[in-house]
Amino acid sequence: MSSGPDTTVEHRLEELITEAQTALPVELPALANRCASVLGLDTALIYLVDLQQRLLIPLDEALQPLQVDHSSAGWAYRTVSPRVVDADDGVTVWIPLIDGAERLGVLAVRAASLDEVRMRRGRMLGHLFAMLITSKRAYSDWLAARTRTVTMGLPAEMLRAFLPPHTISSKRCVSTAVLEPAYDIAGDAFDHSVVKNVLHTMILDSMGHDLASGLSTSVAMAAARNARRGGGGLADVVGAVDQALAQWLPDHFCTGVLCRLDAETGILRWVNCGHPPPLLIRGERVLAGALDSPPQPPIGLAGPLAPAPRQVHEATLAPGDCVLLYTDGVVEARDADGAEFGLDRFTDFIIRSNAAGQRPAEVLRLLIHAILDYQRNQLRDDVTILLFEWRPQHRLSRHRLP
């Protein structure tokens, strides 16, 4: 059996993929170009989004960053759709780099001309390098440093080591989060994880704004994950965080909301520990008070202040429902005249963005920038927002709320 051109391409591509497994992150730009050449494309350039999702930063250090909000590359990133741009010497296709539901950046694929085969190969190259970047950024200081635009504070460095990807999803649900100030967070954090058909989400706000605050939140997140991975229920998870903080950091506590969504049935369970209540958005309105619950003490109180067994509350979502978790820094942001950003402005922004067809991750990107602009980039407190949506494949005929 003779080997034809296609077989030669496959062999060469196999060699490059094997090489990619041990390639240093700094070698990825050159590797991308070699892969593009094998696939009949001219070049491929990798751009990663910065921490604040304002810039697309090239891994080729000789190139300049591009604006997320004012470029064809940014359009591909914002919409998670390829963007074709004609040029005198051919075409450039901006292809979004996606890890599951997490937007990493874009790949610029250049070719003399574009047809269905080249487009498919460009998308394939995007999938490959998204996986490579995801696998290598877990241990690469260079990739982490490349996506920063200013020096990061120590509390933020510690907390960010605990944070999951900003966006995760399954066939039935999506969860996305943002937090600011990106380089100076201390007490706020979020967590989300999908275990089989269950979405776990959590938002925390630790007292203070220093290294001890970040340490408290880090211990809380570690204790919650430890209990969750051990099979504990919601009350068990909160109890584990209570015990961990009381034992190791007895003078510190945090507020928080922990949720567990059964993505098959839409049953939502949650525990609110001294935190602003979750908000339920259905259609184009907030269902006021739908997820309110009797107040419970913050997490980590010990001795005579130790809380009674935690109460777990339950509701059943309707398909398409969104649940919003946030820290008080969101609504307390103030403009130059001292006017608060406020809960109404906050929820109205999300509803309008959803109605305009924006994806959840893009909704929060735009919202966090609106909050920063409102307070002239000088936040008085950490701001963290987590939004999750239930979108089952088959609509349920009945639903209820408490």
Strand 90-99 relative to strand 66-67: parallel, antiparallel, unpaired? unpaired
**Confidence (pLDDT) at 250:** 86
**Confidence (pLDDT) at 302:** 66
**Confidence (pLDDT) at 400:** 41
Sheet holding 383-390, edge to edge: 167-169, 173-180, 383-390, 322-326, 279-282, 285-286
pLDDT at residue 233 above 90?
Answer: yes
**Confidence (pLDDT) at 375:** 86
Three-state SS at 91: strand
Average pLDDT (86-102) is: 93
- pLDDT tens digits, residue range 261-280? 999 999 999 999 999 999 99
**Confidence (pLDDT) at 185:** 82
How far is residue 257's CA from residue 362's CA, in Å, rounded to a whole number?
23
Dig out the tokens for 243 from the structure. 């015990």
**Confidence (pLDDT) at 1:** 42
- 6: confidence class by pLDDT, cuts 50, 70, 90: low
pLDDT-wise least confident of 130-144, 161-175, 296-310: 296-310
Average pLDDT (374-381) is: 80
**Confidence (pLDDT) at 303:** 64
How far is residue 348's CA from residue 332's CA, in Å, rounded to a whole number?
16
- pLDDT tens digits, residue range 47-82? 999 999 999 999 999 999 999 999 999 999 999 999
What is the rounded average pLDDT for all residues in the chain? 90
**Confidence (pLDDT) at 283:** 86
More confident call, 1 vs 219:
219
**Confidence (pLDDT) at 130:** 97
Please tell me whether the overall predicted TM-score, pTM, comes out greater than 0.85 for this model. Answer: yes
- 123: confidence class by pLDDT, cuts 50, 70, 90: very high
Average pLDDT (306-310) is: 77
**Confidence (pLDDT) at 92:** 96
CA distances from 100 to 21, 97, 104, 128 (A): 20, 10, 10, 12
**What letter represents residue 61's amino acid?**
E
Write phi, then psi, for 271 (nearest 5 degrees): -125, 130
- 138: confidence class by pLDDT, cuts 50, 70, 90: confident
Average pLDDT (234-254) is: 91
- 329: confidence class by pLDDT, cuts 50, 70, 90: confident
pLDDT at residue 97 above 90?
Answer: yes
pLDDT at residue 380 above 80?
Answer: no
pLDDT at residue 371 above 50?
Answer: yes
Residue reference for tokens 């890890």: 99
* Structure-derived torsion over alpha carbons of residues 206, 361, 193, 134, reported in degrees to the nearest 10: -110
Average pLDDT (384-389) is: 96
DSSP conformation class of 367 = H
How far is residue 50's CA from residue 36's CA, in Å, rounded to a whole number?
25
- 209: confidence class by pLDDT, cuts 50, 70, 90: confident
